[in-house]
């Protein structure tokens, strides 16, 4: 863990020094909780008054708000390319972004296992704060609970985000139509395989890094480029590309046909999947999106994706057909066709 944690940026302040690791009392709502907030959470999240209360009042212009919630239980806490901290910010703000909403506020709630080292907690919180800055959201309220050793696992984090849906933006699977092109913003499977590589202690020629990233900036560019022709967005996290394509096919009552050769997969990810007997279509991503776009504007949207740092390897990977409704099919590299079913569970538990 230590090689990824980089706690060097954080020097344990005086009132926390008596506690090299988290004790039950840090979750008790008394002095110890207040010290944790004042000396760790509040400075990390840039809260001037050294307070991160369990509630906050904010001003919003009204209209349509998007609200998203997600709990993060990834294991291990630190992995190549990220940590639970980045996931907790990017995962929730990306859920907002997929609805076309600009993320504005975030709450952060921690369930900590007694005994977690204070350095590890500080490193997680530091990563969250950096990710929040990058995603341009403010952490405005939080909560801390501590459970006894053996009743948790390091730290679980819930984040809930509030975003604003700009006037005229209306994205969702109900708008997907036969004829739409299906685009992906980049190579698939990197996040899940990054987690697996550390969990299984695998060595590859090159490190596989998680792709965790905040997607709203890319989404804003696509909304501008696609206008009303941009019908729906999804981020293929748990269950991978296969899960989101099946969700959209079912919700829109359409068939989605994917060309396997068109789907970008890094060679190292492909090799790692083959070694472990995994299908990259089912492996989680944390910084990719799938876009459904009316065919006549697909080229424009693709060009805009490729011009963005997070979409350089974007591709059109398939199209929407009328029949058979609710089904996802894949044209394989050797010319056959197979059905890509909804996964039952997740082949890689606790990847987010």
Of 136-165, which residues contact a second copy (CB under 8 A)? 140-143, 145-148, 150-153, 156, 158, 160, 162, 165
- Whole-Å CA distances, 123 to 40, 129, 135, 170, 237: 10, 10, 18, 38, 24
User: Contact with a second copy (CB under 8 A): which of 62, 168, 201, 336?
Assistant: 62
User: Contact with a second copy (CB under 8 A): which of 89, 99, 132, 301?
Assistant: 99
User: 315, 262 in Cβ contact below 8 A?
Assistant: yes
**Residue whose CB is less far from a second copy, 143 or 259:** 143
Tell which phi-psi region holds residue 61, choosing left (phi > 0), alpha (psi between -120 and 50) or beta.
alpha
CA distance 276 to 238: 18
Q: Please tell me whether residue 4 adopts helix, strand or coil conformation.
A: helix
Stretch that binds a second copy, among 120-128, 134-142, 294-302, 316-324 (CB under 8 A): 134-142
Site string for a second copy, 161-200 (x = CB under 8 A): -x--x-----------------------------------
By CB under 8 A, residue 30 contacts a second copy: yes
**Residue whose CB is less far from a second copy, 96 or 181:** 96
The number of beta carbons lying within 10 Å of the beta carbon of residue 168 is: 9
Q: How many C-alpha atoms does 146 have within 13 Å on its Cβ side?
A: 21
- Whole-Å CA distances, 288 to 23, 95, 119, 206, 253: 38, 12, 31, 21, 24
Question: Is omega for the bond preceding 76 within 30 degrees of 0, making it cis?
Answer: yes
Q: Please tell me whether residue 100 adopts helix, strand or coil conformation.
A: coil
- Least distance (Å) between residue 115 CB and a second copy: 14
User: Contact with a second copy (CB under 8 A): which of 16, 38, 68, 249?
Assistant: 68
By CB under 8 A, residue 205 contacts a second copy: no
Name residues contacting a second copy, limited to 69-88 (CB under 8 A).
Answer: 69-73
CA distance 186 to 151: 38
**Residue whose CB is less far from a second copy, 139 or 330:** 139
User: 329, 339 in Cβ contact below 8 A?
Assistant: yes
By CB under 8 A, residue 98 contacts a second copy: yes
Name residues contacting a second copy, limited to 254-293 (CB under 8 A).
Answer: none
134 burial level (CB within 10 Å; 0-12, 13-18, 19+): middle
**Residue whose CB is less far from a second copy, 34 or 229:** 34
Radius of gyration of the chain (CA): 21
Stretch that binds a second copy, among 90-98, 129-137, 296-304, 321-329 (CB under 8 A): 90-98
- Least distance (Å) between residue 16 CB and a second copy: 14
**Residue whose CB is less far from a second copy, 27 or 126:** 27
Residue count, binding to a second copy (CB under 8 A)? 71
- Least distance (Å) between residue 33 CB and a second copy: 8
CA distance 328 to 343: 12
Site string for a second copy, 224-253 (x = CB under 8 A): -------------xxx---x----------
């Amino acid at each position: 863990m230590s090689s990824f944690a980089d706690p060097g940026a954080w020097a344990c302040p005086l009132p926390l020094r008596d506690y090299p690791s988290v004790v039950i009392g840090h979750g008790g709502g008394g002095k110890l909780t207040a010290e944790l907030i004042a000396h760790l959470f509040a400075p990390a999240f840039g809260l001037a008054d050294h307070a991160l209360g369990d509630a906050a009042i904010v001003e919003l212009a009204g209209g349509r708000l998007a609200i998203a919630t997600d709990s993060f239980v990834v294991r291990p806490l630190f992995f190549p390319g990220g940590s639970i901290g980045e996931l907790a910010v990017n995962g929730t703000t990306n859920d907002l972004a997929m609805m076309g909403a600009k993320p504005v506020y975030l709450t952060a709630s921690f369930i900590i296992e007694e005994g977690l080292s204070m350095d590890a907690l500080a490193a997680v919180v530091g990563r969250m704060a950096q990710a929040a800055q990058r995603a341009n959201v403010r952490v405005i309220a939080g909560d801390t609970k501590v459970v006894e050793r053996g009743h948790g696992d390091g730290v679980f984090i819930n984040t809930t985000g509030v975003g604003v849906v700009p006037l005229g933006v209306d994205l969702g699977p109900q708008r997907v139509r036969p004829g739409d092109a299906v685009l992906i913003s980049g190579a698939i499977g990197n996040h899940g395989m990054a987690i697996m590589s550390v969990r299984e202690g695998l060595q590859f020629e090159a490190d596989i890094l998680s792709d965790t990233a905040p997607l709203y900036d890319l989404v804003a560019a696509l909304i501008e480029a696609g206008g009303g022709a941009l019908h729906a967005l999804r981020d293929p996290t748990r269950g991978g590309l296969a899960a989101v394509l099946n969700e959209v096919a079912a919700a829109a009552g359409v068939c989605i046909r994917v060309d396997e050769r068109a789907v970008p997969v890094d060679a190292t990810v492909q090799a790692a999947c083959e070694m472990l007997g995994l299908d990259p279509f089912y492996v989680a991503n944390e910084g990719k999106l799938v876009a459904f776009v009316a065919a006549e504007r697909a080229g424009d949207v693709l060009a805009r994706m490729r011009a963005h740092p997070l979409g350089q390897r974007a591709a059109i990977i398939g199209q929407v057909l009328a029949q058979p409704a609710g089904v996802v099919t894949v044209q394989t590299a050797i010319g056959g066709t197979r059905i890509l079913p909804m996964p039952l569970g997740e082949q890689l538990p606790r990847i987010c």
